[in-house]
Amino acid sequence: MVKIKALKIKTLVVGVCLLFITKAFSQSYIPFVSEEKLWTEANSGCNPNFITVQSYVMRGDTLIDTLVFKKVCDLNNAIILLVYEDTTQRKVYFRYPYDNTSFLLYDFNLQIGDTLPAPECQIVIDRTTEYFAGRNRIKLTFDWPMTWYEGIGCVNHYIFYWRCIVGGVGSLLCYFENDILLYHDTNINNDCFVNYNMPPLEKENLFDLYCSYDIMHLKSKSNTPYTLSVYDLFGREILQISATGDMRKDVSNLPAGMYLWRVESKEVSGVFSGKFLKN
C-alpha cells in the first residue's frame, strides 16, 4: 500500500514537472533583435512588374542612455536605423540615427481586441501560433490587414516602419539568420537581392546553372553574349564573368554553402536568376 501511494505521488510530481516544462517552453519568447539577422523587402510601387529590393542587416551595438541599441544596416554597412528590444514586455522600439525620439515598432504582447497605437492599422483580430520560417511563432493579424510573426516582424507591409501606410506595398521577401535562409517568398521574386524588371509574360528558361565537383556549369540556350554574376547570401558580389554560350568555371576557392546567381544579356529581354549549392 505504501509503495502504491509513493508511486502515485511520484507520478503526480513528474506530471506536474512535465506540465510546467511544456508550459514554459510554449511561452518562451523569440527575440526580434539579434546579431546577423537579415531581411530583404520587396517594393513594387505603382508598377507590379518592377520590384526593388531593400536589405536590412542587424550588426553591431551602440549605447544610448544606458540602453543597448542594435544597428540595422544596408549591405554596404551604412546605418539605416537603431532598434532596442524589451524582452520582458516583448516590445521593440526603433529610432533614426539622427533623431532622439524612439517609436514603438512591435508589441508581441498584444491580444485579440487590443489597439495598436498607429493611425491606420489598429485592432488585433487574431492571435495564433503558427509554424513559420523554421519555428513555431506567435502570429498577430490586424484589421488593416497586416500580419506580424514573432521574431521576424511584418510580412505584408514595411518591416521597419513605426506606423501603417495606406497603400503601402512593402512585403517580406527573404529572411536569414546567420547566413541561413529560413524564408523566401518566391511568388514575389525568385532572387532575394536582385531587383526584378520583367514583362508579365512567362520567360523561357534560357540559362541553367549548377555546381558539381567544384566546377560551376552554366548551360545557355542562346548564343548571345551575357554577364554572369554570383553573390553570397548577403548579396555581396563575389564573381562576375562575361561569356557566350555554355560556360565552366572552377570555384574550388569558394566556401561550401548556398550562392545566388544572375544572368543579364542586352540582347535577351529580362534578368535570369537562381541559386546553387556548393558542397
Residue 154, Cβ neighbours under 10 Å: how many? 25
Q: How far apart are CA 110 and CA 146, in angstroms?
A: 14
For residue 190, what are the CA distances in angstroms to 44, 195, 266? 14, 10, 20
Give residues with Cβ within 8 angstroms of 161, minimum separation 6: 168, 170
Report the pLDDT value the prediction gives residue 31, as an integer from 0 to 100: 96
Residue-level pLDDT at 194: 76
159 and 41 Cβ atoms separated by less than 8 Å: yes
β-strand partners of 128: 139
256 burial type by CB count under 10 A (0-12 exposed, 13-18 middle, 19+ buried): exposed
pLDDT (0 to 100) of residue 2? 45
Q: Residues near 2 by Cβ (< 8 Å), separated by ≥ 6?
A: none
| Helix ranges, 164-249 (H) | none
The per-residue pLDDT for 7 is 44
Cβ–Cβ < 8 Å for 242, 230: no
The cell for 71 is 544597428
For every one of its 279 residues, what pLDDT tens digit does the chain have, with 9 covering 90 and above? Answer: 444 444 444 444 444 444 444 444 345 999 999 998 999 998 865 555 567 888 999 999 999 989 999 999 988 888 999 999 999 999 999 998 888 888 889 999 999 999 877 655 678 999 999 999 999 999 999 887 789 999 999 998 788 876 655 444 678 999 999 989 999 998 888 888 877 654 433 345 678 888 888 899 998 887 888 889 888 766 678 899 999 989 999 999 988 877 878 888 877 666 677 778 887
- 8-state DSSP, 182: E
What pLDDT score was predicted for residue 129?
96
pTM of the model: 0.64
Residue ranges and CATH numbers for the domains of the chain are 37-184 (no CATH), 202-278 (2.60.40.3080)
Q: What is the DSSP letter of 132?
A: E
Is 265 in a helix, a strand, or coil?
A: coil
**pLDDT for 136:** 96
CA dihedral 77, 99, 42, 233 (to 10 degrees): 20
Report whether 146 contacts 110 (CB < 8 A). no
Report pLDDT for 122: 74
Torsion angles phi and psi, residue 98, rounded to 5: -95, 5
